[in-house]
A and B are shown apart, each in its own frame.
Chain A
Amino acid sequence: METLFETKDLTIAFGGHIAVDHVTISVSANQFKSIIGPNGAGKTTFFNLLSGQLSPTEGEIFFRGENITKLSSTERTRKGIGRSFQITNVFPNLTVLENVRLAVQSQAGIRYQILSHFKKYKDLEAKALEWLEMVMLEDKQETLAINLAHGEKRKLEIAMLLALNTEVLLLDEPTAGMSLEEVPAILDVIRRIKEKGDRTILLIEHKMDMILDLSDSIMVLFNGRLLADGTPEEIMQNETVQSAYLGGIHS
């Protein structure tokens, strides 16, 4: 399979603390890869490096063979790497549809024309609605984002991320802070995105059982280091992972 995305010895240190320690991975196109690890393992920091929120102390990141280590997060979004955040990020006083439309029109690249054709505007609206259907939020399109339940906000955020049409989706704990009843709906959304088959997905998740059947591969971070990287079966049988998890999470 063609490699889309790779990191080489990616490292970042904050003072003396090495948060991400020489992590080398490669991700092929349209793969679903999950990143697991206990709290403080460096998962979100690793994402911040990939998306450009942080720049590494050492190491490099390649996207389609191009070195993107020095690019800003906006430039990386344009290249095709989009990310969601652990904290929900939507425009509270816009309607659900408007939130997605904003993302659609930023992608459409026609953002400075005031007097654009009415039809084009309708197209944007239709496109935005498509994304809302993808995350099963179309019946809330006229609701102000501020009035959504937490789980719905996460769905909206995912719809906005999808609307950016980036090849890579970095999903940082989309179920964080969610009630148990809301979790299956989000998993459904993620499954639908995966089944469409045109995106490469990196997902950070705490709960290993949740993502076993979704993932093509799983990487395990522990104290900033890459502990293991393989298929879900391999990870399940990996003894180091077992002990790290027993010692890391359940202690």
Chain B
Amino acid sequence: MRKGGEEELDVFFNLTLNGLATGMLIFLLAAGLTLIFGLMDVLNFAHGGLFAWGAYSGTWLYATTGSFIIGILGAVVTGLILGLITERVIIKPVYGNHVQQILITLGLMLVLSELLKVVWGPNQLSATAPDFLKGSFELGGIIIIKYRLFIIAVGFLVFVTVQYVLKNTKIGLVVRAGVMNKEMVQALGINIKKVFMLVFMVGSGMAALGGVLLGPYSGVIHAEMGMEFAILAFIVVVIGGMGSFPGSILAAILVGLSGSFMAYYVPDLALAANMLLMAVVLIFRPQGLFGWKG
């Protein structure tokens, strides 16, 4: 009986850690998406493509150089560069037109996925964690997998850093004000499009970081992983409130935890759970948990 209770506690903690880790990965993807939408009303369906490119470029760099750190940094740089090109070439001409944005970014998403197959082949690649993050340790009778803890720590660090920049820097203030009322920011004589370009790049960098972190977590990466996570990220953006950065981490953790627990206890409902969560939020708080636009 006692043993059963302990096992249950163990399962509970593992599901929680698992959910938090998944939540952080979704957060890294959703954070950029929510700011990109909040600031310039841009619907970016190619965001998942940047996630997948981060995973491939990072995993490849890690395999080539043998340094996990270089793999991660390389993925982020890839995200930043792809983000810059995407904003300048693809997004800039379609500002203010949602239909064109959906069409062209969905197209870009397909192109990015197919290009991955051109460069690295159509088969999925295996990805492993570096030695110092492999395995697990025991804490008070509970087995904790190191790599999950690592993802949670990185995600949290990114959140704290971005939140600090938003709260305490000049550009952060422009971003927060721009999400509320971009016309008025422009009326103050601030060129918000340059700020947006930067936000787009940083958002893409975060997505790529999420992608490369996912590799060793799931063990394999494949070209379609971007699309799968992008759907979750869109759900998170809606739940958290479009344009709300704190909302995106809270909603991502909610979605991560619900996915993890539902998959264990009611696997049949695992997929529906997130949709239900979104539906409930939309019914009671259509602007999202942290959103303020009605």
Contact = CB atoms under 8 A, between A and B. Distances in A.
A21 B181 CA distance: 34
Given A73-B187, A74-B187, A102 B169 contact: no
B194 interface: yes
A220 B188 CA distance: 30
Contacts of B271: none
Interface stretch (A3-11, A59-67, A85-93): A85-93
B163 to A, nearest CB: 14
Contact of B173 (A92, A105, A107): A105
B171 interface: yes
A114 B188 contact: no
Contacts of B184: 89, 91
A107 B189 contact: yes
B174 A114 contact: no
A110 interface: yes
A94 B169 CA distance: 14
Nearest to B183: A89
A74 B186 contact: yes
B189 to A, nearest CB: 5
B188 A94 contact: no
Contact of A93 (B168, B180, B194): B180
Contacts of A78: 189
Contacts of A243: none
Interface in B168-200: 168-171, 173-174, 176-177, 180-181, 184-191, 194-195, 198
A192 B168 CA distance: 31
6 contacts: A77-B188, A93-B180, A94-B180, A102-B177, A106-B188, A111-B190
Contacts of A107: 189
B180 A74 contact: no
A93 B169 contact: no
A102 B188 contact: yes
Contacts of B180: 91-94
Contacts, number: 69
A74 B169 contact: no
Contacts of B171: 111-114
Interface of B: 165, 168-171, 173-174, 176-177, 180-181, 184-191, 194-195, 198, 292
B187 A121 contact: no
B177 A74 contact: no
A98 B185 CA distance: 13
A114 B168 CA distance: 10
Contact of A77 (B170, B176, B187, B198): B187
Contact of A111 (B165, B168, B170, B187): B170
A114 B165 contact: yes
Contacts of A77: 187-189
A189 interface: no
Pick the 3 closest A-B CB pairs, nearest first: A106-B188, A106-B190, A91-B177
Interface string A195-223: 00000000000000000000000000000
Interface in A92-128: 92-94, 98, 101-103, 105-107, 110-114, 116, 121, 124
A174 B171 CA distance: 30
Contacts of B185: 102
B189 A94 contact: no
B173 A98 contact: yes
A106 B194 CA distance: 13
A112 B175 CA distance: 11
Nearest to A161: B188
Contacts of A93: 176, 180, 292
Contacts of A116: 169-170
A160 B168 CA distance: 19
